[in-house]
Structure 1
């Protein structure tokens, strides 16, 4: 959210009549009349790249102050979020391929830049640099435990890292039981 905030000082010692402040918001230098005398602009009403400022006059019960301009604020990118880090198959055998799967969201509406996701893999709890940024692993060994940490990218910022669950590789040989 974006909040109009100010300090108050009156030469006569009068206190500010808070509900009487006159606030006029501007977005990209255009008056936003729907926000007249609104102190807080909600996050849902802000768009990345927009430049906001406001003018203000405060009231001491007798007089309004001179008009004061705030500084400009440029709305910045909000980093994306990994909603869930999982696997395409939740049960995997050593003769199969282990594929990372995740859900992406971005409150700015930015698309994920898939090729720039940071993926680090851990085998039996130890970092394995040879698989950095691969979303798929093969040549798996039974009983190995794998997990990964992912950060996604929206073209401007990376998400916070998210850790997947640990998955244990099962044996690829199906036992044949013979009855006589």
Structure 2
């Protein structure tokens, strides 16, 4: 298995234009370097959101609840292809189990993980889709647990205990929930 921290990410400027690349690890070391990422939200037919609790071994924001999955496309890789691949790798969700995923918009954010000082400075493509069949089979190295929640339940839970959730979670939900 490859060390995901050594994979390349695409650096971007304040307008999302590619400016170069570096490793995942380098992009997240202080002071952080803005780079392209994606965050996926899957829903079920009743409108519930698929959450994941990040595994304890994750480098950044370990053990926190977050959106369905996140990742970084390789430099020049189409975001939808990277998101589809990551759903299969991280959650065992094959393309045949979901509607084709689509991009909903961009969420720009910067967050520091207080437990280790790693920095998220991301130009985050928000990707959405719907689980049509099957059951996610998370990779335990990536995901501790999954849960399905309604958006209103999620917002209340984050308000009550924000330290249990990733700092980008509600921003990604807002972009995913914005009608075209």
Check whether TM > 0.5.
no
Q: Which has the higher contact order (CA 8 A, sep 6+)?
A: 2
Greater fraction of residues in helix: 2
* TM-score bracket relative to the smaller structure: under 0.3
- TM-score, with normalisation over the residues of structure 2? 0.22
Instruction: Point out the structure with max Rg over C-alpha.
Output: 1
